[in-house]
Amino acid sequence: MMKFGIAALALAASAPALTPVATAQEAQTIEGIVAIVNDEPISYSDVRERASLLLLTLGVQNPNQQQVQQITAQALDELIDEKLQLQEATEYEVEVSDEDIASAVSDMARQSGMDRDGLINVLLSAGVNPSSLQAQMRSEIAWRRIMGGLYGSRIRISENQVDEQLAQLKASLDKTQYRIAEIFLYAPSDEEKEQAIAGANTILEQLREGAPFEVAAQRFSSAPTAAAGGDMGWVSTEDLDPAVAEALSAMPSEGLSDPIRVEDGVYIIAYQGKREPTETVALVDLVRLSVENGSEEDLITATSAAGSCEGAETIAENDPNLRASRLEDLRLSDLGPEGRSLVESTPVGEATDIFAMSGTIAVMYVCNIDETGSTLPSREEVEDRLFARQLSMISQRSLRNLRREATIIQRGS
């Protein structure tokens, strides 16, 4: 969902009404039709209201003619997408109630430190009809429900995918890392790239005048990070598109990049910080389960019955042949080559292979591994990120397919 952000709302609350987007000629035909999407019209007034909302989002108070043209084109593109999304909602019988929209408006207001009436007053004082925001919310809520319903249960993030992502993140800790945020404007053709570069320059003008980057990313970016305000976290140049990595490396200090042309669009990068590789210490929590009589068969049976760290401790309490010892905050490097290899090759929650120990044999249940000093996310966080990324990519692809298959007629103004 689009968020204004406290900075943009505060600016809007003290700003005069925005310069009307429509020209005098358009005002005479304000209810005329500028586009038809599968037989459903979009009027000039629809475009004007959405353009005013976009300008408010960026904190623009007195747009020039070039900005008006670029923001109007963006507004029309958004409205076309929303028509397509709502038509799909009708097809799938997805309903969005007035209560759903009112709740979304209230949530947006709370995030910006005000109540619903305060947010509506900010819109009105800036010359923005609240109905434009409500219409956008209706389409976004409907589209989110469609995508979640069609694909949410189909997306499966495997343990291997999580392991691979964590391994990549861990490897990047040995490299110089950059804290960056992104705005990506999807533009696959040369003609669309020129338009995207013009749009990127308009966005950059407002960012350099103080518009919040996270708000612009939420509003304009096609990247999966848009929902998080464009935040990519700490990354190495190897994680980036080569053209973006080259531009980032050439930036002398923190700040905003110029538009960066890539194969399928244009990037704006906010370079926010840099750090050199950091030393990390892996700490591990274990439960060691051993047998007093040295019987491999007894140990295999006990391991199968235990199933977890807690299970190993419980089963040992009731069997004099078993001994369970909890070992916490051990440095992985202190376990020695064999012990370290056993632990590193064992998923958290499972038991290692059997090993010899002081005249008997044992296994170790791996309860937890903590990379102290690193910024590695948890497995659950990685899984959530991968899921959101896949759903976002599916959503964008589905919308592009709808555009390609739709009958869209645009009329000159």
pTM, two decimal places: 0.64
pLDDT of the residue at 412: 59
Tokens 């103080």 identify what position? Answer: 210
Q: How far apart are CA 68 and CA 57, in angstroms?
A: 14
Residue 405 has pLDDT above 90, yes or no: yes
pLDDT tens column, 194-225? 888 988 998 898 888 877 888 888 888 888 88
First CA to last CA across the chain, in angstroms? 30
Q: What is the DSSP letter of 335?
A: G
Neighbour count for residue 29 (Cβ, 10 Å): 14
Rounded to an integer, the average pLDDT of 72-79 is 88
Quickly name the fold that domain 281-372 has: Chitinase A; domain 3 (3.10.50)
Q: What is the mean pLDDT of the chain?
A: 84
Q: How far apart are CA 206 and CA 34, in angstroms?
A: 27
Tokens 């047998």 identify what position? Answer: 291
Q: For residue 360, what are its two tokens?
A: 């008997």
CA dihedral over 324, 326, 332, 333, signed as positive or negative: negative
Quickly name the fold that domain 171-278+375-404 has: Chitinase A; domain 3 (3.10.50)
Does 281-372 match 171-278+375-404 at the fold level?
yes
CA dihedral over 219, 220, 223, 225, signed as positive or negative: negative
pLDDT tens column, 79-134? 999 999 999 999 999 999 999 999 988 887 776 667 888 888 888 887 788 888 89
Maximum separation of any 2 CA atoms in the chain, in Å: 96
pLDDT tens column, 129-179? 888 889 989 999 999 999 999 998 899 999 999 999 888 887 777 788 899
Contacts of 126 (CB under 8 A, 6+ apart): 12, 15, 17, 18, 52, 56
Q: What would the CATH number be for the domain defined by 6-155?
A: 1.10.4030.10
Which of the four pLDDT bands, split at 50, 70 and 90, describes residue 12? very low
Q: How far apart are CA 184 and CA 164, in angstroms?
A: 25
Contacts of 239 (CB under 8 A, 6+ apart): 168, 172
Extents of the domains making up the chain: 6-155, 171-278+375-404, 281-372
